[in-house]
A and B are shown apart, each in its own frame.
Chain A
């Protein structure tokens, strides 16, 4: 066995990866070769130190710090999971649309009925002013600033909590004489 062959066996020997036959051959060689014997001893020592290097420990705050980081991750994961649940998101969206549609429907129905009530009240009051019906009478609603040229009510302008005063103005002459004020109480 040459020294070169012996050196490769020394590595194996130091790492406990040598076979019995190889070990026997290596021993035979080092018995007569001081250089390889020295190499075997020092390499063996090196590998023993390497494999026995002291085990290091993380700081005592390692786990508490990790726990804090983990709880943040858990929180973020839960949020993601909540949003990722497609069934839940779909049901939520449908429910929201239904609630909105129903609210809009109720709003419209209520305001239409309000408008209808006011309209009926105004009509019944106007019966007293038969002679002034037509283009020469303009109807004003106060406190609403809306001006109504004809007897047309806009549903969006009624406030349930306020009384409406219909002001009848004679426009046949320049004086704009106020004929009457009719108070309408929405039910």
Chain B
């Protein structure tokens, strides 16, 4: 009995999501605007993971990334009627919202950390600087690193890249977005996107040179 119920529910859920599966973003938005809340749920389902990954790689904080991803969807929901398909792709729009939120978050974080650093004494009792005691990654034994560890190091080094280089690297090399879309998201010409991406790759290469 319970198995039948489960099967029915599964079939129902599958048929509901299957109905939206082939629809484009613009079709889903039209449905949303006309009051179909399931269409919005499907947009969330479609973009939840890519957006979360983009935001996480950008700010490197799991909880904040989750909050910001939710904030992106809330903003999309609030402004969905203002979205104009002829102006830009939905994906460009949603990533633009996300990148603006990330920028704001990093700016706030900088402000907060500045206050913290100003108030914290960066020296031990014997006068030695704490910074000098932080272990340099490059001194770690390189050969013994497992693949997962390498991924972790590369992830961390991506997050250490300057913001304007980091965003293009995440969008292009991790998320796989085309240059045109990246150009619209960051409001820069394609040439600038390409040169920044090149610089970002070289910078990352230099940072992880010893691990490869």
Contacts and interface: CB of A to CB of B under 8 A. Distances in A.
Contacts of A79: none
A73 B205 contact: no
A69 B53 contact: no
A41 to B, nearest CB: 9
A51 B49 contact: no
Question: How many B residues touch the partner, as a band?
Answer: 20 to 34
Contacts of A62: 48, 52, 66, 69-70
A180 B44 CA distance: 88
B53 A55 contact: yes
A42 B209 CA distance: 8
A153 interface: no
Contacts of A175: none
A55 B176 CA distance: 13
Interface in A23-49: 42-43, 45-47, 49
A14 to B, nearest CB: 8
Main SS at interface, chain A: helix
B38 interface: no
Given A53-B151, A53-B174, A62-B48, A42 B212 contact: yes
A154 B151 CA distance: 93
B7 to A, nearest CB: 23
Contacts of A49: 150-151, 154
A172 B53 CA distance: 103
Contact of A15 (B53, B62, B201): B201
A77 B70 CA distance: 17
Contacts of B204: 46, 50
Given A53-B154, A62-B69, A47 B74 contact: no
B53 A56 contact: yes
Given A50-B169, A66-B73, 8 more contacts: A42-B212, A54-B151, A56-B56, A62-B66, A69-B74, A70-B77, A73-B74, A73-B77
Interface of A: 8, 11, 14-15, 42-43, 45-47, 49-51, 53-59, 62-63, 65-66, 69-70, 73, 77
Interface of B: 44, 48-49, 52-53, 56-57, 62, 65-66, 69-70, 73-74, 77-78, 150-151, 154-155, 158, 169, 173-174, 176, 198, 201-202, 204-205, 208-209, 212
